[in-house]
Every structure is written in C-alpha cells, then in structure tokens.
Structure 1
Amino acid sequence: MTAPFAPSALRHGIVVVPEHRWREAAPRWAAAEEMGFDHAWTYDHLVWGGLPNAPVFAFAPTLALASTITSTIGLGVFVASPNFRHPYVLARDAITLDDASAGRFLLGIGAGGDLDSRILGEDRPLRERVDRFHEFTHLLDRLLREDHVDHAGAFYATADARTLPEPVRDRVPLVVAANGPRSVALAAAVGDAWATYGGKGADLDAWFAHVAGLAARFDDACAAAGRSGLPRYLLLDSSPRYALESVELYAEMTGRAAELGFTDVVTHWPRPESPYAGSEGVLEAAAEAVVRRAPSP
C-alpha cells in the first residue's frame, strides 16, 4: 500500500489528562505548544474509567483557560459523547471555545463508554447507544451549520434553536471517533475528520494489523459517501505499548501510522504511574527528534 502521507507530513497531538488543578496543568498546555505539537486534547468525563479514583476537571473551562496561554496549537476534546451532553448545549460550548481560541478548537465526539451514563442512572443496550450517537451527530452537525434548527427525534428535540453568534470559521471541525461499521460510515458521511483508538491486539504488530483493517473500512466508507481527503487521527496509546516509552518507539509508531494513511497521531502526556507511565524527558526528546521534524502541511 502506498501511503498518502509520509511520516514527515504527520501532525502530532498530545492528551493532557484532566486530573490536575490548573496551576499544575497550565505549564503542560503551554509546553505542548512550545515543543511543536500541532494539537493538544483533554477528556470529557464525569469519571474516567482509566483512573476511577482520580479528580476530573471539565473540558470546556480547561480549554478556555488553555486558549489564554497558547496562540497556535489546536485545542480539542477527545471526546464528548451523548452520555451526558445535549447536542445544542455542546454546540454552544463549541462556538464559544472556537471564539476564545480564535478558531483553534477541535470538537471530538464519540458514542462514549457506559461508565458516565451508569453514574447518571442510565442503562442502554449498545445498539440503542449507537442509534443515539447517530442522531446526536446529525443534529450537532446541523447546529454547527445552521440557525433556527427544529428537530424532533427519538432521543433529542430542539424548537427553533438559535446558534448565534456565528463561528469564527465557516465550521468548527467535527472529529468523529468510530470503530464499528455503522459509526465509521457516519464519520465518513458527516465528519470533518475521523478518529480511532485502534482497538486491541496482543502485541504491536497485531494492534497495527487491526488498525489497518479499520483504515480500510474508513476508505470504503469514504468511497461510498463520495468523499476523500478527510483527516484521520490515530490515538496511539490504546496499543499494548505506551508510545512514549522511548523516542525510538514513538518514531516507529508514528511512522507506521503514516504508512497506513493517518494524517494525525495522538499520544498522552507522561504520568508517574500507569496508565501512560513515562518520563517527561522522553517526551521532550521525542518532540525534538520527531515532532519538530514534522511541519504541518
């Protein structure tokens, strides 16, 4: 397979897990820009399953604060979901964050896991959750493009929903996270970009083999939707290895992602313990050796 993007054309992103008070988190957001990352992300959870006993700070205030100490880096949520978000309220947050960041906000959305919804007393089968995500995405898409939006669906309703002020850009980018066939097709048809965590694999080769299958699925979905050239984000750290274990591993994983046609890769800021246990020294070295050599196209 001939990759449409060489490793040198990759864009690099990093997730700052929202577990720290702002005085501790702020230097990380500023450093991500200084190190040359193209985008920086945070989670949107009531409780994150990866750290169920850790603090969790809200994504919208976090990104608004991050916009005041950065000037060029993209700022995104990875990912907002229907588990506790209404599309209209989320669209308001998106428009506000896009304004605060002067057009740097990236809106990642996904069906989400079931932990947040269970906390709110909800228990839906997977098929119903996917159905809800599809309605959520289509309505959110309209709210980011139109004014006076009327909608009456199985899960959501809006009556003459106003969406003023207009976004800073023609469109807040909608990054749709998806792995299953139905949602990958949704990403190809509606999204401005596709994102995947890649699934699971016993080792790195098996994981990348699975990722290759997902990329082929997205290729087919784009062809069916008559679309091409959509950005593709790969979250590296659901693999059996943490990408920032070493500079060499980060270079290998990002190179393999580029060979599969991904335009963007995302890793996590190192933590002192699992998950994402690693060294900030490795992060800085990887930024110098790999990230800074990858100018944004």
Structure 2
Amino acid sequence: MRTGIVILPEHRWWFAEPKWRAAEEYGFHHAWTYDHLGWRTLVDGPWFSAVPTLTAAAMVTERIRLGTFVASPNFRHPVPFARELLTLDDVSDGRFTLGVGAGGEGYDTEVLGEPPRTPAERTQRFGEFVELLDELLRKDKTTWHGKHFSAVEARSAPGAVQRPRMPFLVAANGPKAMKIAAAHGQGWVTTGPRTDDFDAWWHGVAELSKRFTEAQHGAGRRVDRYLNLDSAPVYSLTSVETFQDAVGRAEELGFTDVIVHWPRHDGVYAGRETVLEEIAAEVLPALG
C-alpha cells in the first residue's frame, strides 16, 4: 500500500516549505496540492496557485512524487496548461503525476462569470480536456478540434521527461468519467459517495470499486486505484488507530494507494500534527 498526503496551497512559502520537506522525510510516496482558484469554505482565505507551488516543492525534495489533486477544465485550457506540465515534469526530473477531474460547480466557474454547466456537459468537456492533453503531451505537434477545445499546430518540444508522458491520475465516480479513467489514466481516484454515514461511505466505496473493475476490463488495461480517505465522514488522521483502520479497509477493497490531508488547526481537516508524526514513525514504515 502506497500513501500520499495533500498539502493545501494556503500558506506563504516560508511556512509551507517545511511541510513538503517533511512529507518526503516521513516516507510518503506522493504529495499533492489542490488546483483551484479558491476552494469551498477557504475561498476567502489565503490561497496560492498549484503549479508554482509544486515547482517550488520539486526544488526542495528529491524522491517523493508530486501532483495536482486535481486539475480540471473549469478554468484551464489544455494548450497553455500542457506547457506548464512539461515544465513541472522537467523541474521535478520526472516525479510529477497529473491529477485531473471534471470539476464541479463553485467558485472556480463562478469567478469567471460563465453559465452553469450540467453534469453531462462537464463530463463531455472533461473527456475532451483529457484526450487533448494526452495528445499534446505525447506528440511534437498537435492539431485537434473538439466541441469545447481546439489546438492548431500546438508545439510541445522538448516533450516530457517521463515517456511517453507523465502519468494521469483521473478522478471519477460516475460511469462516463470512469471510462475516461480506464482509457487514459495510469491511476483512478475516487472520493466515494457523499454521505454523513461512515459505514454507508465505505459501502459506497466498495460499489464504486466494483464499477471501476468493470470499466477497467472494458478498456483492457490495468490501472492503479487511489482512495481519498478524507472524503469519509471521519477525518483519517483523527488518531493512529483511525488511520490504520482506514488503510486496512482500503487494502481489502483492492486500492493500491490512499491519500490523506495535512492536519489544519481548525475547520476542514482539523487535527493534530502529533498524530501525523506518530503515523510517520509507527505505521508508514510497515506499509513499505
């Protein structure tokens, strides 16, 4: 079982840098940050951009994989975004994973003044976003025309460090998005169902895992499986025992990776860093 941790891009770099260093020292396999213009209850607080944050993190770490959790077409176009991704892949010396998702309604779309999109429209747009990014990152020159995005002789020299491109981690809960994950992703990540019932959440995760197995078989590919433990009604770093229980449940359901969030002082993901330190010392070494 591999483990990852999300460090929200809410702190000035002098305060955030030690967290990224510690994530590697603690033994996490991957570290992530949110790719939003603003996020939910934290929208009025400090917030920094994901790509520069990950670039800075790449400069102060050596081994840990880094990624977006997750980028979406809500405010990004594949052509300029591909340039940023190639740069980040280069600076990190091939340690970057692109986490992508369809995105939902909220600040990221409202701040641009765009009309609301239906779930079906978001999924269709997401499919084009992933497909075009895949083309741009694999080829030297891309011309592509879709309903939502286009590219005209878009160059991508010198190409990604990781060949044929950096891995995609595709967020998907619905059947259409799962097909995108199975077709283009090296990893699939789920947040599970929306519920305040702890047992119902795990039951829903099990059902989603079964559905993705079907999508994966249909695509004829093997894809790693990631679970966002902190979408559950109980924060995964509440205690060492809570974390161990969640990891055990995820492993039984066939997940290869779990992702948690760095404890915050209050609000969402509120917890104690001492618990994180205990997990790093007592649990992570046994997970490998």
The question of a shared fold, defined as TM-score above 0.5 by the shorter chain, is answered with: yes
Task: Name the residue aligned to 2:282.
Answer: 289
Structure 1 residue 52: Cα displacement? 2.0
- Within a 5 Å distance, the mapping from 1:188-199 to structure 2 comes to 188-199=182-193
User: Is the CA contact 1:203–1:240 (under 8 Å) kept in the aligned structure 2?
Assistant: yes
Shift of 1:286: 1.0
Q: Distance between the aligned counterparts of 1:289 and 1:264, measured in 2?
A: 18
Q: Of 116, 121, 143, which aligns to 2:113?
A: 121
Displacement after TM superposition at 1:204 (Å): 2.2
From 182, 197, 202, the counterpart of 2:196: 202
Which runs of no fewer than 5 residues in structure 2 stay unpaired?
A: none
Partner-residue secondary structure (3-state), 1:140: helix
Tell me, in whole angstroms, the C-alpha distance in 2 between the residues paired with 1:91 and 1:258: 33
| Alpha-carbon distance in structure 1 between the residues aligned to 2:206 and 2:199 | 10
1:89-108 residue CA offsets vs partner (Å, 9 max, x unmatched)? 22111111111011100100
Structure 2: distance between partners of 1:50 and 1:94: 28
- Percent same amino acid at aligned positions? 53
How many residues in Structure 1 have an aligned counterpart in Structure 2?
285
Aligned pairs (5 A) from 1:1-297:
10-115=1-106, 116-123=108-115, 124-170=117-163, 171-228=165-222, 230-295=223-288
Q: Aligned letter for 2:146? A: G
- Whole-angstrom CA distance in 1 between matches of 2:95 and 2:103: 23
Q: Contact between 1:15 and 1:269, CA under 8 Å: does it hold in 2?
A: yes
SS of residue in 1 equivalent to 2:5: strand
Deviations 1:193-244 (A, max 9, x none): 111111223332211110011111110001111112x111111101000000
Partner AA of 1:168 in structure 2: V
Structure scoring higher RCO (CA < 8 A, sep ≥ 6) equals 1
Query: What is the one-letter code of the residue matched to 1:117?
Result: T
For residues 89-140 of structure 1, what are the alpha-carbon distances to aligned partners after superposition, in whole Å with 9 as ceiling and x for unaligned? 2211111111101110010000112221111011222211111001111111
How far off its partner does 1:254 sit? 0.8
Aligned equivalents of 2:195 and 2:103: distance in 1? Answer: 20
Structure 2 SS opposite 1:107: strand
Task: Report the residue type matching 1:182 in the other structure.
Answer: K
Stretches (4+) displaced over 4 A = none
Q: So what's the TM-score if we normalise by structure 1?
A: 0.94
Report SS of the residue matched to 1:149: strand
- What's the CA shift string for 1:244-281, capped at 9, x where partnerless? 00000000001111111111100000001020110000
The letter for the 1-side match of 2:135 is R
Give the letter aligned to residue 69 of structure 2: F
Normalising by the residue count of structure 2, what TM-score does the alignment of the two structures yield? 0.97
CA distance in 2, matches of 1:204, 1:37: 25
Letter in 2 for 1:173: P
- Structure 1 segments unaligned to the other structure (5+ residues): 1-9
Q: Distance in 1 between matches of 2:189 and 2:80?
A: 22
Q: Give the CA deviation at 1:50.
A: 3.6
Deviation at 1:180, TM superposition (A): 0.5
Query: Hey, what's the Cα distance between the residues in 2 that align with 1:237 and 1:11?
Result: 16
- Deviation digits for residues 40-82 of structure 1 (CA, Å, limit 9, x no counterpart): 0000111101412211100111011101110000111100000
Between the aligned partners of 1:20 and 1:141, the Cα distance in structure 2 is 32
What's the counterpart of residue 3 of structure 1?
A: none
CA contact (8 A) 1:201 1:210 kept: no
**Amino acid paired to 2:174:** G
